[in-house]
Structure 1
């Protein structure tokens, strides 16, 4: 069976990131045929338009990994009511130089987890606006705004609550269908 590669971008660099744990838990809920590739955004230099003519090797590899993927999965925290700077930096690198946007046409899913009451609602809205401009068709429903703590996850990395697991399974099923529909 043919594999559908999903480029996973976690907006947090923190070692024990809830969002990395969420991405890994979602991977356990994915249907057969989806292959997850976690992209390392920590090694990308700060974006500088002066470097567009000669992008760093880490940037070229990052863009190649996105180009090779059939779908995108963004799992991000919310920093100061927006997306983390490290994620915005990665997005900017892969959209430049002008006319070389590798996000275009890649079906995307956006979700995130936070200890805060509104989850990552504002970060997700900002990210959706950016992805719309970059021509990455983004799954609109269902939306996922999770308030989490360590008890949200089992020791094996799966989701502890049956209700949350069922909800996230529904999201994963919708996301897989979205990728299949748009990744022709």
Structure 2
């Protein structure tokens, strides 16, 4: 059975980020036949269409390559002012271009949020789901993975809430299953994943 590759993206740049800690813990507990890594969005410049040409920034090319090679993406983000943090939206803007031919197209995604607040970033999830759907990602439909009062679930910088991790593990398993079903369906139809970005990136 083909290995499924996941990439995690945190919506926080803090070195002691709750969301990065949650993401790290979640991606340590993976189903059999699944590998994962975490992409760093901190080197990305602000999106500028004038930079998105033949001489794209190296940080952008490197991130696009990682997403291209992944089967699914796990986003874990805080909620800033009721919505998606600017750094995450900036990464999405880079990865979503060009329209209908980006590295996002045809990928599967899971959204997780964590916050010191009781609501755990739930409002951000609604906005992020809308953004990702516009970028042609297949966002997993299931009960939300929301981590409220995240600061109380850390031990020495490590996210350590077993109940939450068990619930998140089921979400990741659902994501992997959906990816496998989708890929099997495409294979049965003699089709590949609908992504036009590969040739463009590798031609550089």
Query: 146-155 vs 2-11, which deviates more?
Result: 146-155
- Structure of greater Rg: 2
Specify the alignment match of 2:105 in structure 1.
104
Query: 144-153 vs 18-27, which deviates more?
Result: 144-153
What displacement does 1:154 show? 4.4
Quick one: distance in 1 between partners of 2:119 and 2:79? 10
Specify the alignment match of 1:64 in structure 2.
65
Q: Secondary structure of the equivalent of 2:46?
A: coil
Structure 2 residue 21 is matched with structure 1 residue 21: yes
| Structure 1 residue ranges without an equivalent (≥5) | none
TM-score by length of 1: 0.90
Specify the alignment match of 2:145 in structure 1.
144
Task: Pick closer, same or farther for the CA change 1:34–1:157 going to 2, 3 Å.
Answer: farther
Specify the alignment match of 1:78 in structure 2.
79
Specify the alignment match of 1:130 in structure 2.
131
Quick one: distance in 2 between partners of 1:90 and 1:132? 15
Task: Pick closer, same or farther for the CA change 1:156–1:32 going to 2, 3 Å.
Answer: farther
Q: Secondary structure of the equivalent of 1:15?
A: coil
Specify the alignment match of 1:36 in structure 2.
36
| Structure 2 residue ranges without an equivalent (≥5) | 185-204
Q: Secondary structure of the equivalent of 2:104?
A: coil
What displacement does 1:169 show? 2.7
What displacement does 1:5 show? 1.2
Pairs aligned (count): 183
Quick one: distance in 1 between partners of 2:159 and 2:94? 32
